[in-house]
Structure 1
């Protein structure tokens, strides 16, 4: 099956086939570096291409919702003018987050277009577990030792975006370290990753070029 045939028959594929064939593009980075904005913008751009691309989906960061829930359990409110009061994180929390993030990703891959954009993933959950619980805590990795193939990681550079407190963030001083951890982990795993730089428009344009290159490579492989 060549690329044209694949795309023409995409909507007739089973959910299982779509899940296996979808190219997964994951946006990762430290806190307040524009990950969600870039993920949404990419999904919107590819939807605008129409046809099978009109159902391009993006997956939100489950860990954020989970954090808000933990704060509520502690009886704390969210205040944009104050720094986040760290929840009582335990290894099991990161296992839960990783598993649910992956479930959401797989569900979207099985129902969307040939490309899926993810605002973080279970690998990022492993990095956050290291941030809060140290190198010895590996619950997220143990819960998901192997992840589905990723077509591309886009790494948002903390130097391009000013830190904005939203009531749950607490890691402005950790942003350079977190950025380096992502670089190190992606390099160690041999994942295809690329920094994206500049303002919102520049990042989007650069990312589209990178994603289109991945799509073109698939076409060449299938011809």
Structure 2
């Protein structure tokens, strides 16, 4: 019988500390970490991102997650974002989301989401584009998570962000 490994996702708009916090959480709990596939994919793009690129990022994120889940010997894993990001970007920039992503949203659930607030200062990065749209994307994250009926909590704080995320995850793991 296969052990069920919970998936805890660290999500949010650009420049909210997802990669930093998710890595620190994985280290704190000594559990596997799933990096954001899209970051590597986009770094290698030589042209504007297309809808096909979004589909490729979906497949890459799922494959990366599956490979880590297959080897996980822990109660849970920490995911640096999820393929829900593909839906958000596809809707925003292409006007719709590929059906493969929509279908997966209904069947590939995450157990808990930590939605990082936009209270951190913007950090420039070649892969970030929208410093003036943070509130817009935060609203979209809330909407999407509510539509999924996701179990989530918003975590904020500059100095206390990691500790606030640990507290939220502990409450999820030990209700």
The TM-score normalised by the length of structure 2 is 0.90
Please report how far the alpha carbon of residue 213 of structure 1 lies from its aligned counterpart in structure 2 after TM superposition.
2.2
In the other structure, the counterpart of 1:170 is: 129
Equivalence map 1:73-222=2 (5 Å): 73-74=46-47, 87=48, 89-112=49-72, 113-134=74-95, 136-138=96-98, 141-142=101-102, 144-158=104-118, 160-200=119-159, 202-217=160-175
**What is the CA deviation profile of residues 8-40 of structure 1, one whole-angstrom value per residue up to 9, with x for unaligned ones?**
xxxxxx7xx24xx11110011111110111101
Q: Is the 8 A contact 2:87 2:102 kept in 1?
A: no
In the other structure, the counterpart of 2:18 is: 35
Greater C-alpha radius of gyration = 1
CA distance in 1, matches of 2:88, 2:32: 24
Structure 2 stretches of 5 or more lacking a match?
Answer: none
CA distance in 2, matches of 1:143, 1:67: 24
Please report how far the alpha carbon of residue 172 of structure 1 lies from its aligned counterpart in structure 2 after TM superposition.
0.8
The TM-score normalised by the length of structure 1 is 0.72
Please report how far the alpha carbon of residue 210 of structure 1 lies from its aligned counterpart in structure 2 after TM superposition.
2.0
Q: Is the 8 A contact 2:16 2:120 kept in 1?
A: yes
Please report how far the alpha carbon of residue 142 of structure 1 lies from its aligned counterpart in structure 2 after TM superposition.
4.4
Structure 1 stretches of 5 or more lacking a match?
Answer: 1-13, 48-55, 75-86, 218-223
Q: Within the alignment, does 1:64 sit opposite 2:39 as a pair?
A: yes
Q: Is the 8 A contact 1:99 1:143 kept in 2?
A: no
Q: Is the 8 A contact 1:29 1:155 kept in 2?
A: yes
CA distance in 2, matches of 1:203, 1:94: 30
In the other structure, the counterpart of 1:81 is: none
Give the structure with the larger helix fraction.
1
Please report how far the alpha carbon of residue 155 of structure 1 lies from its aligned counterpart in structure 2 after TM superposition.
0.6
